[in-house]
Amino acid sequence: MSDGLTFNETLYPGVQVSYSCDDILFQDRSEHQDLVLFTNAVFGKVLMLDGVTQVTTADEFMYHEMMSHVPLFAHGSPRHVLIVGGGDCGLAEEVLKHGTVETLTQVEIDRSVVDFSKLHFTEFNASVFDDTRFELVIADGMEFVAETDRKFDVVIVDSTDPHGPGEILFSQEFYSAVHKCLTPGGVMVTQNGVPFLQKDELVTSIARFGRIFNDAAAYIAAIPTYFGGHMALGWASDHAALRDVPLAVLEKRFKAQGFQTKYYTPEVHLAAFALPRFIRDAVEEG
Ligand code: SAM
């Protein structure tokens, strides 16, 4: 929603976050959603889909590093990775920093998000499109995981919130289909909202993971764009040991990859699984 000078995020009833807009760079209504890209003095370039902030150039590294490096370093030798959603391709860039990754498949429902991100978010996705390991599939993530015979070591669900096309990506049916696509020792990570404002989303997802996976958990990251405190990232695997990789092992794996990060460190990785009590209660309720 815009009055010409501001864009208002209206995801939560009773709360509104207003961004001043310096410049509208792109605005369109695709087959799937309303899309706007504008600039803001604090957050840089801001992408909103259906009035909900998706990514900003100022803090994308916090979200993308924690969504990617935590499962990839926990796994230790990820070769085949699947991203569901993730249209801005910032997550893909982080995944491709891992030399062990041989293929990265990204299934995104809306080509227009990728097309304009390729034009407007070169700050964080420029290296993705020429990487021969990267394959973009324009399709519904639910249909893809239900139909594919391929197996992945890590599946990362970088979805919109559970409204519109993203709703199916929070369903029992979807999590079961992802489970079927994972290699033994594999892990799924999901964007699971901000527990202070979206507790039910976390409780519901964890309950659904628990019906299928041996280990259903969450970890946290604080990301200014997703206001309201910590964001929860869902974690589902058949191997609980993946959450307890010793610090020395994570440090060795991180060092071996030889890239720099701005948020992720092996210490932050392990600490992210220590949940504030109200979030732990929500996970245990699930
Ligand atoms: N980081 C963001 C957040 O936390 O809200 C999510 C960013 S990313 C841009 C979300 C992407 O999921 C969008 O590009 C959207 O088009 C895509 N998406 C939504 N539903 C989908 C579906 N069913 N299958 C594949 N992609 C989907």
> How much distance in Å is there from the Cα of 20 to the middle of ligand 1?
24
The answer to whether residues 183 and 50 belong to one domain is no
Tokens 């420029």 appear where?
A: 126
Centre of ligand 1 to C-alpha 57, Å, is 17
CA–CA dist 181, 184 (Å, integer): 10
- The answer on 83 and 19 residing in a single domain is no
Position 16 confidence tier, pLDDT thresholds 50, 70, 90: confident
Q: Do residues 83 and 285 make contact, with C-beta atoms less than 8 angstroms apart?
A: no
**Of 114, 110, 50, 100, nearest in space to 72 by CA:** 100
Instruction: Say if 1 falls within a structural domain.
Output: no
pLDDT tops 70 at residue 46: yes
User: 30 falls in which pLDDT band (50, 70, 90)?
Assistant: confident
216 Cβ closer than 6 Å to some ligand 1 atom: no
The verdict on 132 and 232 lying in the same domain is: yes
- Domain shared by 25 and 78, yes or no: no
Residue 247 alpha carbon to ligand 1 centre in Å: 32
Cβ(205)–Cβ(234) under 8 Å?
yes
230 is in an annotated binding site: no
The answer, yes or no, to whether any atom of ligand 1 lies below 6 A from the CB of 165, is yes
User: Phi/psi of residue 201, each to 5°?
Assistant: -60, -40
Residue 35's pLDDT is 86
User: Would the pLDDT of 280 be above 60?
Assistant: yes
Determine the average pLDDT of the residues in 67-95: 98
Whether 17 and 97 share a structural domain: no
pLDDT of residue 116 exceeding 90, the answer is: no
What sections of 26-171 are H helices per DSSP?
60-75, 90-95, 111-120, 122-125, 141-147
Q: Is 131 annotated as a binding residue?
A: no
Question: Is there a single domain that holds both residue 41 and residue 113?
Answer: no
* 28 has pLDDT over 80: yes
The CATH number for 195's domain is 3.40.50.150
Q: Is the CB of 109 under 6 A from ligand 1?
A: yes
pLDDT at 2 over 90: no
For residue 35, the enclosing domain spans 6-55
Whether 162 lines ligand 1, by a CB cut-off of 6 Å, is: no
> For the whole model, what pTM was predicted?
0.95
> Which comes out higher in pLDDT, residue 275 or 15?
275
Per the domain annotation, does 253 fall within a domain?
yes
Among candidate residues 235, 190, 238, the one with its CA nearest the CA of residue 213: 238
Instruction: Indicate the average pLDDT of the chain.
Output: 95
In a domain, 77, yes or no: yes
State if residue 234 touches ligand 1 by the CB under 6 angstroms criterion. no
Are 135 and 184 within one domain? Answer: yes
Known binding residue 153? Answer is no
Interval 151-196: pLDDT, tens: 999 999 999 889 889 999 999 999 999 999 999 999 999 999 999 9
Name the least confident of 3-7, 14-18, 71-75: 3-7
Query: Which residues are part of the catalytic machinery?
Result: 158
CA–centroid distance, residue 255 to ligand 1 (Å):
31
Q: Distances from the Cα of 269 to the Cαs of 46, 263, 265, in angstroms? A: 27, 10, 6
Please report, for the domain that includes residue 23, its CATH number: 2.30.140.10
Q: Which atom of ligand 1 is nearest to the CA of 140?
A: 24
pLDDT at 1 over 60: no
Distance of alpha carbon 227 from alpha carbon 196, whole angstroms: 10
Ligand 1 neighbourhood includes 87 CB (under 6 angstroms)? yes
| pLDDT score of 112 | 87
Annotated binding residue 135: no
* Least reliable range by pLDDT among 44-58, 59-73, 165-179: 44-58
Region 135-153 average pLDDT: 98
